[in-house]
Amino acid sequence: MRFFGKFVRGKGFAALFALFSMFSVCYVSERMGRLLECFFSCSCKWWIFAVLFVFMGYMFLYINSKKEKKKTRNLYEFCSVFLCFLLYLVMLLWVYDLADWLFQIDKDSFYMIPVICAVLITGYGFCHAKKLYVKEYDIPLEHFQKEKRIVLLSDIHVGTFVDVRQLRKIISTVNEIQADMVFIAGDLFDVEAFAYCKKEEIAAELQNCPLREMFMRFWEIMIQSLKQEK
């Protein structure tokens, strides 16, 4: 696991990701060009390639841009969703090309099927991420003399896609459970968004949540760190 973590954060993975991105841009441009030619009878491959190349270039260059600007963040969030769509599209195009090779479909207009499926999957994923689901498990613990209700939270990533409204919804859901103990496994904040997220509003939400003592101690530590970052 340590090797994998170092590899993902290293230059080797970045180079592989860049190569895969360029391959995906060329692959999608060629397939979508064939699809559009069925409807408009004109070659659009290079136009699609140019648009996707600019899009991917912006995603890479965003790391060094001014993230504190709201317009830049909004555009980045849109690009992130569109990037998810492209990833799904590439995988679905692979599946379609495999089916085409096996069953000799040989109709470029059918490339519309992977496009529609990628749109539906991306839309479902975006809506599903906003919903909260409570899963209950019965775990026997010998050192507990009586039954306790414990809540475990992890990977909330407040700052980019999880805003103050979503955080308020999470806190409300946890309070409704009336747990004896609440644990946060980690990644409460989005590291990339911590420098420009709405710290004052987040601190106000954390201070106002009527949670149990163990949870409040954790929130007090986080509130102090938030105020120090101002």
Residues 66-76: tens digit of each pLDDT? 566 666 777 77
**Percent of the chain's residues with pLDDT above 70:** 77
Model confidence band, residue 189 (pLDDT cutoffs 50, 70, 90): confident
Q: What is the pLDDT of residues 75-112, one digit of tens each?
A: 777 888 888 999 999 999 999 999 999 998 888 899 99
SS3 state of residue 41:
coil
Expressed in percent and rounded to 5, the helix, strand and coil fractions of the chain are 70, 5, 25
Task: Specify the pTM.
Answer: 0.76
Question: What pLDDT does residue 28 have?
Answer: 95
CA dist., res. 168 & res. 2, Å (int): 35
Assess whether pLDDT exceeds 80 at residue 62: no
pLDDT the model gives residue 226: 53
